[in-house]
Structure formats: structure tokens, C-alpha cells
Structure 1
Amino acid sequence: MTTWNVKIGINPISWMNDDLPSLGGETPLETALKEGAEIGYAGFELGNKFPKESSALRAVLGKYELACVSGWYSGRLASRSAEEEIAAVGPHLRLLAESGATVMVYGEVADAIQGEARPLYKRPRFQSQQQWQDYADKLTVFARHLLEHGVRLAYHHHMGAYVESPADVDQLMALTGDEVGLLFDTGHITFGGGDALTVLNKHIARICHVHCKDVRPNVIKLARNGHWSFLQAVINGAFSVPGDGSIDFPGILAALYRHGYQGWLVVEAEQDPAVAPSYQYAKMGHDYLAKLVDDIPRLGQEAG
């Protein structure tokens, strides 16, 4: 039987949104940590309210017996050199490595519009195969540097950025070295026009981190047809926690199980806490995933 060694973590975005502080901005970090631990999460990804020094970070997480899962890094390799990026990442890389995280969430923010009031179709795109190759080469060099410090790059395909669609993910994975891991985000790949299970199976060998969010297809359709910005889509409920939308999480977890994925399943579902109360939805997502993780050896055998 395949070993099924996964842990369920959460991103603090369920309580407080770094991109849109009006969503839960007043909520103290301690509230999120206390409630997350009480629900049963094993760890947290980092956000703006966490300490930036490793001993302080370990202390605040240790108080609730939580692990440091990972932390978002705003990369700009689309507009600067690998050497410049390596110099810039130093403090964040040290923080993650000293805090026990083994993956870094890399989000490309150069030219990205995910935080702007601009329609998603205006996102940046590489205009030639040479631009793609240059970007991929820099990313591979950068990822190799992270690995030398015990941390794997987990590339976050993201709405409003250079790598958004399944075709973009295909290009990135084809042109980068194995040093570059893929963060598979169920919600973003679906919003980006893909079938989550199909994309997962295609790139499963490179997946080193998983963000679990569900989608509301009617809201995504409105967002596309109405030329909404990414934040408009979030505010209007494009995303929710696993089990509260249309994504086939039993199929996705069964595929991860069969492949022998060992890592984190992170609930990361940005919503307005005034509409989707943080504790209620965080618990809903945890309990749904926890049941699947318990059932998955049986489900995996049946599906196999």
C-alpha cells in the first residue's frame, strides 16, 4: 500500500487578506492561530502579520504547536536577473529554512495585476518563445539556489500573472529544470480555464505543494464575462473552501495518494470573512479534507 504521509495546513487568508486588508484586516494574528489549532490544522503558511525573525516566529507558532508550512515570496524574475533575485530572497529564505519549512511559495509579481483594479484579460504574457526560455532559465538557477539551503521552489500559477492558464503551466514545466517544483492550486487552475484533475495528472511528478480551494463556477463565469479584476472576483465569492464548490477533491486526493505525494495540503480560500465567517469555513475545509485523507487509501485502491 502506498504511504500516505500528508498534513493539513492553512493560510491565514481565511482570517485576513494581505492583498485586500479590508477583508479581515482588523483580526489579530493570535485569533487565527488559536482558531486554526483548535480546528485541528497542523501548520500555517505565513502572512504579513507573522514575525520576520525565526526565533520569534517559532515562538508564536510553538505556542499553539503549529508548524511553519511555507511562505509566499513575491518574485520578479520576469524583470530582473537571477543574481538580483538571489540577493533579494536572502532574509525570507533564511526565515523559512530556520523555521523548518521545506518549500517556498514563489509568486511572480512583475507586471502582475492580481492586486489591481484591472480586468484579468489584461494580465501580462510572454510574447515569444525566447522570453519564455529566458524566464525559465532564470527560474531554474534561482530554484537551485533555494535547494542548496534545503528549500524547494514551489511555483504558484496565479490569476492575473504571467503563468495563469494550463498552457502556461505546460510551458513552464517543459522549459524549467526539475529543481523547479510546482505548487498546484486547485482553484487558480480551474479559474484559469483548466480541469484540475487533468492538469494534476499531467504534472504530478513536479508537484511539491498543494493549495486546496474550491470554486463557484457561476461567479467565475460572471468574472470572465464581466471583465472583473481578480479582487472583484474574490470579493464576490469566486473561491471557497474544499467541499463548498465544484472541484473533484476525492479524485484529486486519490491521484496524489497513488503517486505517493508526501507534503502539505493547504486550505487557502480567500473570501470576505463578513460573508464567509473565518472559523466556520476554516473548520468546514479542514473537516472535509481530513475525512478524505482518512478515506483515501480505500478510495485510491478502488480508483486504481
Structure 2
Amino acid sequence: MNGPPDIGALLEQARRNEEILRRTDQLEEFLLSPRALRPLLEGLCQRVAAIYGLDAVSLALADDHAGLRLALEADGPQALPAGCFHCARVELRMLVGDLERPLLSNRASDEALRFLFGQRGGLCSAAVLPLWSRGRWLGSLNLGSTSPERYHQGLETHFVRRLAAKTAHSLDAAVLYEQNRLFERREAAMEMAGAACHELAQPLTALALRLETLMRGLPEGDPLRGQMNSLTAEVDRVGELLRKISEVNRYVTKPYAQGLRIIDLRAASAAGKPSTPPEEA
């Protein structure tokens, strides 16, 4: 027969669970606060490490998630925040095997630890939490500890799954936020382009007709003809710019003076599908 339960051990386990729950609630306050993608990434790893007392935290981002990549490039190419890196699904699967459930281990290889955290750094145990939302793989949240007892096989709890689910939800919400922001920018760019074309087309047409009339009135060999031809060429150039503005269907920017960014007419009016926010991307 089994002996009576150890009341002290049960109370200690209850206390630990209560503390884990408190920390999880604290992290959820951060995760569930609406924010853009980059601010979320900039604070996530540091926040998780501080709340749970971890020695290393990293976030692997799926490199085949179109919506995630589009959101990351919303304000132009930028380096990923500290602790974040792009990861191919096949690479992570080779290290952890199953991407459907968290992996906890105190026997991770040096290769795996360097891949997940960039360095070995005395880490003895790690947890890899795959992030899934709406049936799409977003990446993984990776937790590292110098204690071999912190994470090991068979220790998985619902707290780990809860952390993965909340992180995935927050990441997916930030991606959708960025997609909607890009859509709104595109709509604003198209409205501005339409207004510019409407306001400029008539005076430009009148200017072209006036130049043509003046050219017909000049005798052959008149030195003013050369200047008039140059003016006509500039008017044609402005007309070509208006044509590009009228074809703007995407929000694409390029660097400008003093750190500003302006719409890249060539790229924004290039042939192709408009960058509407893909719901399933």
C-alpha cells in the first residue's frame, strides 16, 4: 500500500504552481497589450527572461511565413531585435523533431544550444516552445537555463503550453496589426495619387497644348525652337511621372534626406498584385 501523502511536499508544489501562475499572469499583461510587431519583439525575450529568471531566451521566427516577413519589413529593411532570428522549419525540426509540442531537455547538444541561443554559455537545459496560430507555424520561443533540473524530459506542464499559446496569439495579433496598417497606408497612398493626378492633369495638358501652339508659330531655324523642344521634353517627363502616380497600388518607400522615407514611385506602381493584407499569410 502507498503511504499517506507528504503534506509538506504537496504544499510546496502548490506554492510553486501558484508562483508560476503569478508570473504567467504578469507576462500575459505584456503579451495581451495591443502593440505593433517590432515593439513586441524588442521587449519579449528580455521580459520572459526577467519574469521567469532564465539565463537565455530567444525567439525563432518562421522564414516561410509571408505575413510575418511583410510585417517585419513594413518600415523598410531593419535588423531583427536582440534575441530574435529567422529560422527555417526544416532546421528546427532536425534539432527538436516534433514541432507540434514543446520539447524540454537537459541533454541538448552544444550544436542545438548554439543554434537556439547563439552560444553555449554554460546552459544545461532548454525548452523549445513551437508557436502556432490559426494553423500556421510562426516560429518558436526558446528558454535556456544553467540548471540541469530546470527543464528535462517528462517535466512538461500546462504552464509551458499556456506560455506558448499566449506568445503565439500575441505574435499573430501583432502581424495582423501590421498588415492592417500597411493596408491603410496603401489606401492613403492611392487616394493621394488619385488626387494628385486629378489636380495636375488639366494644367499639364493645357501647358502641353500651349507649347505646341507656340512651336507652330516659330519659323524654322528660330533659336527658340531648341528651348521649346527642351520644355516639351520636360512636360512629357512630368506626364510620365503622373502616369506612374496613377498606377500606384502598393505602399513602398525608399530612404530620403534627413532620415525621412518617401514613396518609391517605380516600385509602388510596378506591375503586380497590390499588397493587400493576406488573411492567411
**TM-score (ref. length: structure 2):** 0.27
**TM-score (ref. length: structure 1):** 0.25
Q: Relative CO higher for 1 or 2, CA cutoff 8 Å, sep ≥ 6?
A: 1
User: Which protein has the bigger helix share?
Assistant: 2
